[in-house]
Amino acid sequence: MAEDFTDKVVLVTGAASGIGLAQVKLFKDNGATVISVDKNDIPMNIETFKGDVSQADFIEELFTKIKTKYDRIDIVCNTAGILDGYSPVTETSLDQWQNILNVNLTSQFMIIKKALPMMLKQDKGIFVNMASIAGLVADGGGVAYTASKHAIIGMTKQLDIDYASRGIRANCIAPGAINTPMNAADFAGDGKMAKWVAEQTPAKRWAKPEEVAELTLFLASDRSDYIHGSVVPIDGGWTAR
Ligand code: NAI
């Protein structure tokens, strides 16, 4: 039986598009109170906490508001992230490197650091951090993206084992080819790149963001209570080859 999320407060970053937007919709459909965070407006009639998750000031402000308004947090979906143009080292400036790491990795660390004390007080809390197949193998992005996603997996494992005995669970999702605005370039023109990606994927297709949202809901539910510090690929078999 599906779990009731009615009493749960769920934070989702990257909520305005793609996977984050699908997560927001599914959690809301399942009764959760959702705190939607993005630097862009969210195309739904719901309250948006608008700002840049890589900025410490914004995270500080966000959690002040969360404490005042909800005074609890049950589930955090660290979903916001950006691609790096598949650039190798020689084409990656130090600024670009730092920006990718700040947006993809440090934002997650800052949010975890704020949410964790609230969760520890509740003796319960769940993190679902967005990694990628680029967190497991090379070639899913450039050097900065791949480094950031590998680091998210390491951070999540350590977070989990440091606090598992105190009611905290942290896991990563590692998506493969998901059809979202992030990959719009692959579908541009005759969509040759998108066709190539589908061809290279054992399942021979792209996935919809809603499929990643379904996995998120499972990892955020008590049905997955024994899944700790894991990376769950949802990649049509890409990393199984
Ligand atoms: P998307 O581009 O459709 O959505 C990302 C959202 O994050 C956007 O609404 C954007 O405004 C927001 N965002 C980006 N930087 C932000 C910042 N600094 N502050 C606040 N919000 C920010 O991308 P998609 O595909 O939904 O990706 C979501 C996550 O899934 C990312 O972490 C991405 O790396 C990961 N992922 C996506 C895959 C795919 O094939 N689409 C594959 C593997 C991982």
Across the strands, what pairs with 207?
A: 178
pLDDT, position 47: 76
pLDDT, position 45: 78
* Model confidence pLDDT, tens digit, residues 117-137: 999 999 999 999 999 999 999
Between strands 9-13 and 33-38, the pairing is parallel
Which residue among 82, 103, 107 is best mutated to probe the pocket of ligand 1, counting the most ligand atoms within 8 A of its Cβ?
82
- Does an H or E element contain 13, and which? strand 9-13
145 catalytically annotated: yes
d(CA 140, CA 145): 8
Give the distance between the most distant pair of CA atoms in the chain: 53
> Exposed, middle or buried, 229 (CB in 10 Å: 0-12/13-18/19+)?
middle
User: Letter for the amino acid at 15?
Assistant: A
Tell me how far the alpha carbon of residue 144 lies from the centroid of ligand 1, in angstroms.
Answer: 15
pLDDT, position 43: 86
Q: For residue 16, which atom of ligand 1 is closest to its CA?
A: 9
- Dihedral sign of CA atoms 61, 64, 70, 71 in order: positive
Tokens of 115: 């949410």
Residue numbers in the chain where pLDDT is lower than 70: 1-2
CB within 6 Å of ligand 1 — which residues? 14, 16-20, 38-40, 52-54, 79-82, 103, 130, 132, 175, 177-178, 180-183, 209
Whether residue 211 contacts residue 234, with contact meaning beta carbons closer than 8 Å, is answered with: yes
Question: Mind listing the domains of the chain with CATH numbers?
Answer: 9-233 (3.40.50.720)
Closest CA to 76 of 161, 172, 176: 172
pLDDT, position 191: 97
Mean pLDDT of all residues in the chain? 97
